[in-house]
Amino acid sequence: MDPAAQANKDLPTVVIVGRPNVGKSTLFNAILGQRRSIVGDEPGITRDRIAGTAEYNRRKFELIDTGGIIPDDNQLIPSQILKQARVALENAAWVVFVVDGRSELSSADLDLARMLRQLNKRVAVAVNKIDVPKREVLAAEFFRLGFPDVFPISAEHHGGIDTLLDHVTAEFPAGEPRAESVETARSIRVAIIGRPNVGKSTLLNAILGQERAIVSPIAGTTRDSVDESISIDGRDYTFVDTAGIRRKGKTKLMAEKLSVFMARRSIRMAHVAVLLIEAEEGPVALDATIGGYAHEEGRALIVAVNKWDLIPEKKRKDYERAIRDQFKFLEYAPILFLSAKNKTGVRRLLATIADCFASYEKRVSTGELNRFVETLTFEPDRRILYITQPSVRPPTFVLFMDKVRKLHFSTERFLINRLRERFGFQGTPIVLKVKSRHS
């Protein structure tokens, strides 16, 4: 069976290659998901499909599993693998080169890599069977294959596949959005947090009361929580645990405890946290405590100063300074001023939530990152071998260094600041991990 003949000619093609038993078919099936089907059961013909139309983020592409055309034979040499997959590879927009993350690179892997390079195709390396959390560590060795785009995945458990597809399909044309209900749409999940009486309920009402907003309450992720979704300016926002925001404690102490508890709970359900503070009192210790949870949980964060209608505009700089002082660890959070009561600054807040969410899931390609670190000078006797961003939400970078020694705290800050300057990660924490070749 000729996979290329089977492929839909109008779509870009992604071809999965790799030695036998590295998990090509599992990856193929994981990407196709429900659409997988069996095409024939005559003896001698592989039962599983070897080509199928996949869709990711509204981008359609043809996916070919060369595992279906290559006999499962560990003795097979790389040139035979490539010969059999030739037709498919010639038409490929992208090649996904699967290797086994549980074993060392074999000479067959290296040979295959060398031959793939000669094809001048775009190649992403998928390091499969990385099921444990410390994925990025294990993926380091696979840069030896000579392709900058290395993605740790677990085809079986569906780990890391989205990141791989984000990258591979980035330039494929996107189709028309499907009509989706608000409930199932890709929505930014927002937690409004803050101590009692700062105006959380008022803000929520101001947002949900926006003109043209479509409000729909839906059951939240914990039993007694309710999420409410709106669609504004083409974006969908889900405010998590709105019942919790509206709940009031009976005594001051109880209300304060409740506000801390609610913040911790809703932050975990959200992508972006909005820490609401009160203009009249200014930032206080409890605000910092509550904001600290968002930081610890690695969520995007915005500090919003409410009741700004009560304060003369010229005080803005003083407030900014006081907030930066009180929340030293949150220097990435934008500060906004608003009046929930008068509904001023609310649109701006929503736009900022969307911006921070974009930073929160922003991905920089390995190529771009490595060109960027080449321009940096820091500790004179240290060298960055490569840098990669294995995950988003929040953006997480892994530096592979030449020496085992930990990076100095100030160097770490320096690198994070340069990353922010260069790539703009407003409103999101950045995680930096340092690995060395010998660790």
* Residues at the contact surface with ligand GDP, assessed by CB under 6 A: 194, 196-202, 306-307, 309-310, 339-341
Which of residues 173 and 217 has its CB atom nearest to ligand GDP in the complex? Answer: 217
The rounded distance, in Å, linking the Cα atoms of 231 and 214 is 6
Task: Output the residue with the shortest Cβ distance to ligand GDP.
Answer: 199
Dihedral sign from CA coordinates of 82, 87, 93, 96: negative
Beta pairing partners, 237: 188, 230
Query: Under 8 Å CB-to-CB from 159, ≥6 apart: which residues?
Result: 130, 131, 135, 152, 153
Asked if residues 411 and 420 have their Cβ atoms less than 8 Å apart, the reply is: no
Which of residues 127 and 277 has its CB atom nearest to ligand GDP in the complex? Answer: 277
What's the min distance (Å) between Cβ of 200 and ligand GDP? 3
Q: 3-class DSSP state for residue 197?
A: coil
What's the min distance (Å) between Cβ of 231 and ligand GDP? 23
What's the min distance (Å) between Cβ of 252 and ligand GDP? 11
Which of residues 207 and 269 has its CB atom nearest to ligand GDP in the complex? Answer: 207
Beta pairing partners, 171: none
Phi, psi (deg, nearest 5) at residue 131: -95, -20
The full 3-state SS of 396-416, as one line of letters, equals EEEEEECCCCCCCHHHHHHHH
Which of residues 8 and 342 has its CB atom nearest to ligand GDP in the complex? Answer: 342
Q: What is the largest CA-CA distance in the chain?
A: 82
What's the min distance (Å) between Cβ of 343 and ligand GDP? 9
Which of residues 19 and 265 has its CB atom nearest to ligand GDP in the complex? Answer: 265
Asked if residues 118 and 40 have their Cβ atoms less than 8 Å apart, the reply is: no
What's the min distance (Å) between Cβ of 292 and ligand GDP? 18
Helix (H) / strand (E) containing 420? helix 409-423
Q: 3-class DSSP state for residue 182?
A: coil
What's the min distance (Å) between Cβ of 309 and ligand GDP? 5
Which of residues 36 and 315 has its CB atom nearest to ligand GDP in the complex? Answer: 315
What's the min distance (Å) between Cβ of 206 and ligand GDP? 8
Which of residues 202 and 436 has its CB atom nearest to ligand GDP in the complex? Answer: 202
What's the min distance (Å) between Cβ of 204 and ligand GDP? 8
Asked if residues 82 and 115 have their Cβ atoms less than 8 Å apart, the reply is: yes
Asked if residues 165 and 149 have their Cβ atoms less than 8 Å apart, the reply is: no
Which of residues 253 and 376 has its CB atom nearest to ligand GDP in the complex? Answer: 253
